[in-house]
């Protein structure tokens, strides 16, 4: 009987250890998904605030489609993450139900074995009288061993009673956890239903714009190409200024002006090393905003045959939003083109950060700036009411992806 109790206790312990290990892994994954879901919900709120809410100005169809496509993309991602959470909870619920079933079976067996032990102990209470059991010993050594046996047996009975109590409490905890998991899952299901309902409305709006665009595709495609051409022209001017700065640094150091990399002083080398050490940890160039266009070549939402090349990121932000330096450095140059796309370039050793679309400047060429120092304000487009900051990073004259450098960009 004792061996049976030991077997059930041991197997139940192993069962709990494995169950807790799996539960911890699933719980960690659930936390990761919940964090991502909250980030996406916050991003949708930011998109709504910055791109859709309270806009008196009428957007162009191109801007409206771009904004709506972005919002739809984020909402689809939110629905996908929420589905993953719900599916993970379903697996956790099923696992918990299996644990509860196994727990009940083992607990029933433990109680039965314990009851059988108590009954037999009661039936044999006269025959196995403790005093007679000790007095009938043939030697002092045997009596001592029998006394130790009586103590161990009593302790074992008490221990098994405690195990049964603990396992009963564990069963109750599993039941409570199961109820909470079912509530959490229902909440996620309800949220996803609401999100899908909103998505359906957004997809209808998207279809409306698509039909409108198809009627005047040539006109809208021409607008996109003109916008892209102006952006490429400014990027070309920026690269030219960077090459000139590289040539000037090498000339000053007595090196070949044909070099494609900056010649740096010891202080500039330290600054560049510090900039590199902060890769992935740089602050956003604005305190509030959402990325409207990412780095690289992206197909136009209006005409997929048109490729939009972005040498940085475009961030939708608030009207008059202060623009901040992402790292300490020196103002390399300020550009004020005729189209009003004012630009500031900050040098950090052999790195250059570029801030385009400013309405005001608070710094001048040659000024030293600190991390998060205000450089100016984002300009607001009078026609669309949009406030878009274009932000880029260069290493010497090589374009970098800002999303790799800026924290959660």
- Reported confidence tier of residue 3, pLDDT bands at 50, 70, 90: low
Return the higher-pLDDT residue of 203 and 346: 346
Statement to judge: residues 169 and 53 lie in one domain: yes
- The arithmetic mean of pLDDT across residues 246-264, rounded, is 88
Q: Above 70 in pLDDT, residue 2?
A: no
* Contact between residue 202 and residue 128 where contact means Cβ atoms under 8 Å apart: no
Specify the pLDDT at position 53: 65
Strand partners, 354: 345, 392
Return the higher-pLDDT residue of 71 and 23: 71
Specify the pLDDT at position 22: 56
Domain boundary among 174, 189, 215: 215
Statement to judge: residues 158 and 18 lie in one domain: yes
Statement to judge: residues 242 and 187 lie in one domain: no
42-46, 58-62, 370-374, range with greatest mean pLDDT: 370-374
Any domain includes 222: no
Statement to judge: residues 7 and 89 lie in one domain: yes
Specify the pLDDT at position 268: 95
Joined together, the tokens standing for residue 365 give 């060429």
Statement to judge: residues 202 and 264 lie in one domain: no
Angle at 116 between CA 159 and CA 6, to 5 degrees: 40
Statement to judge: residues 153 and 301 lie in one domain: no
Q: Above 50 in pLDDT, residue 317?
A: yes
Specify the pLDDT at position 137: 60
Its domain, for residue 174, covers 2-215
Domain boundary among 215, 246, 264: 215
Statement to judge: residues 6 and 51 lie in one domain: yes
Specify the pLDDT at position 30: 84
- 82 contact partners, CB below 8 Å, separation of at least 6: 37, 188, 191, 192, 195
Q: Above 50 in pLDDT, residue 205?
A: yes
Which tens digit of pLDDT belongs to each residue from 110-167? 777 767 766 666 655 554 555 555 556 667 776 667 666 666 666 666 666 677 777 7
Specify the pLDDT at position 127: 46
SS3 at position 202: helix
Statement to judge: residues 196 and 280 lie in one domain: no
DSSP string, 84-153: HHHHHHHHHHHHHHHHHHHHHHHHHHHHHHHHHHHHHHHHTTTTT-HHHHHHT-SSHHHHHHHHHHHHHH
Any domain includes 356: yes
Q: Specify the CATH number for the domain of residue 240.
A: 2.70.70.10
Q: Above 50 in pLDDT, residue 1?
A: no
Number of domains in the chain: 2
Statement to judge: residues 137 and 182 lie in one domain: yes
How far is Cα of residue 44 from the mean position of the Cα atoms in its chain?
14
Specify the pLDDT at position 16: 52
Query: Among positive and negative, which fits the CA dihedral 217, 223, 227, 229?
Result: positive
Any domain includes 224: no
Statement to judge: residues 123 and 16 lie in one domain: yes
Which tens digit of pLDDT belongs to each residue from 49-77? 887 765 555 667 777 888 888 889 899 99
DSSP string, 253-293: TTS-TT-SS----HHHHHHHHHHHHTTTTBPPSSSS-EEEE
Any domain includes 173: yes
Q: Above 70 in pLDDT, residue 199?
A: yes
Any domain includes 280: yes
Statement to judge: residues 154 and 279 lie in one domain: no
- The arithmetic mean of pLDDT across residues 200-216, rounded, is 85
Statement to judge: residues 245 and 305 lie in one domain: yes
Joined together, the tokens standing for residue 349 give 């050793």
Of 113-127, 159-173, 212-226, 348-362, which range is least confident? 113-127
How far is Cα of residue 390 from the mean position of the Cα atoms in its chain?
23
| Mean of the per-residue pLDDT values of the chain | 82
Joined together, the tokens standing for residue 295 give 């780095």
Domain boundary among 215, 244, 277: 215
Specify the pLDDT at position 89: 84
Specify the pLDDT at position 283: 97
């Amino acid at each position: 009987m004792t061996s049976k109790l030991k077997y059930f206790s041991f197997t139940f312990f192993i069962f709990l250890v494995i169950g807790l290990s799996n539960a911890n892994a699933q719980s960690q994954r659930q936390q990761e998904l919940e964090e991502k879901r909250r980030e996406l919900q916050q991003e949708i709120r930011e998109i709504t605030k910055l791109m859709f809410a309270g806009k008196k100005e009428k957007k162009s169809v191109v801007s409206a489609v771009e904004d709506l496509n972005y919002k739809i993309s984020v909402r689809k991602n939110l629905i996908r993450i929420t589905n993953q959470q719900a599916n993970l909870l379903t697996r956790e619920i099923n696992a918990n139900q299996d644990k509860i079933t196994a727990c009940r079976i083992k607990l029933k067996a433990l109680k039965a074995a314990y009851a059988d032990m108590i009954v037999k102990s009661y039936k044999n209470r006269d025959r196995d009288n403790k005093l007679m059991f000790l007095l009938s010993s043939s030697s002092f050594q045997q009596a001592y061993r029998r006394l130790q046996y009586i103590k161990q047996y009593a302790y074992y009975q008490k221990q098994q009673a405690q195990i049964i109590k603990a396992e009963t409490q564990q069963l109750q905890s599993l039941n409570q956890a199961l109820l909470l998991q079912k509530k959490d899952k229902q909440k996620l299901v309800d949220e996803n239903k609401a999100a899908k309902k909103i998505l359906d409305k957004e997809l209808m709006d998207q279809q409306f714009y698509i039909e409108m665009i198809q009627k005047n595709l040539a006109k809208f495609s021409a607008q996109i190409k003109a916008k892209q051409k102006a952006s490429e022209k400014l990027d070309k001017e920026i690269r030219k200024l960077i090459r000139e700065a590289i040539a000037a640094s090498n000339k000053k150091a007595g090196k070949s002006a044909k070099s494609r990399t900056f010649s740096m002083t010891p202080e500039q080398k330290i600054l560049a090393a510090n900039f590199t050490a902060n890769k992935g940890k740089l602050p956003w160039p604005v305190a509030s905003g959402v990325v409207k266009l990412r780095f690289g070549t992206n197909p136009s939402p209006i005409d997929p045959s048109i490729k939009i090349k972005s040498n940085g990121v475009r961030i939708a932000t608030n009207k008059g939003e202060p623009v901040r330096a992402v790292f300490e450095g020196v103002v390399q140059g300020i550009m004020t083109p005729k189209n009003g796309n004012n630009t500031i370039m900050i040098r950090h050793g052999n790195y250059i950060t570029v801030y385009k679309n400013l309405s005001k400047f608070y710094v001048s060429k040659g000024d030293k700036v600190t991390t998060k120092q205000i450089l100016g304000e984002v300009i607001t487009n009078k026609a669309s009411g949009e406030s878009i900051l274009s932000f880029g990073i260069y290493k010497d004259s090589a374009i970098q992806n800002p999303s790799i450098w800026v924290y959660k960009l």
